[in-house]
Amino acid sequence: MCSRRHIKSIWLEWALDYMFIGIDAFEHTVQYWKGGKHAFSYTTLAYAAAAGLEILRLPAAKTANKRIYMSPQEASQHQIVAELEKQQGVEYTSLPFEAESALAEAREIVAADHMSFATVPATVLLPEYQANFVTAGKLPLLERLNGVKLPELTVENVVTRN
């Protein structure tokens, strides 16, 4: 993988629109990465914008020169697919998928083009990259800082908007 191991979260609504995490909400298919049970931290574009404003409102001493993690919600591919199935009233088909092969192919792409985002799905969907900021103990978590007011984010309300 890339040496910059800190790119680990996604905007879930974007990832669903562009089938970035192996879930095709239009064709009702999924490619589970190593079983799809790893819960990863996610956000949405609107939540990230609101979080940026909240960071600016905080005293500088709390955030100056620090990487601030956001983890409004964590979900696995299975949890996201279950919510999609519930809201769409259809059952998703699990397509054959080998995460290790996809990762090897992505590494080749990145080796040829260092600007490629080919490895990003792996950094989100595989547990070894610690994309669940809560269980990985990533601090400070924005949602736990005193004075921060952010909207509630759930798989249900993200999927509803899509």
| 8 A C-beta contact, residue 106 and residue 41 | no
Highest-confidence range of 71-75, 91-95, 97-101, by mean pLDDT?
91-95
Looking at residue 27, its pLDDT comes to 97
The residue type at 22: G
Percentage, residues of the chain above pLDDT 90? 48
Residue 129: CB atoms within 10 Å: 20
Per-residue pLDDT band for 51 (boundaries 50, 70, 90) equals very high
Looking at residue 3, its pLDDT comes to 36
The b/e string for 31-54 (b: 16+ C-beta within 10 A; e otherwise) is bbbbebebbbbbbbeebeebbeeb
Mean pLDDT, residues 60-82: 91
Q: Is the pLDDT of residue 76 over 90?
A: yes
Which of 6-15, 29-38, 70-79, 106-115 shows the lowest mean pLDDT across its residues?
106-115
Backbone angles phi, psi at 118, to 5 degrees: -60, -30
Looking at residue 84, its pLDDT comes to 97
Between 130 and 48, residue with greater pLDDT? 48
Looking at residue 114, its pLDDT comes to 65
Looking at residue 148, its pLDDT comes to 92
Domains in the chain: boundaries: 10-161
pTM: 0.82
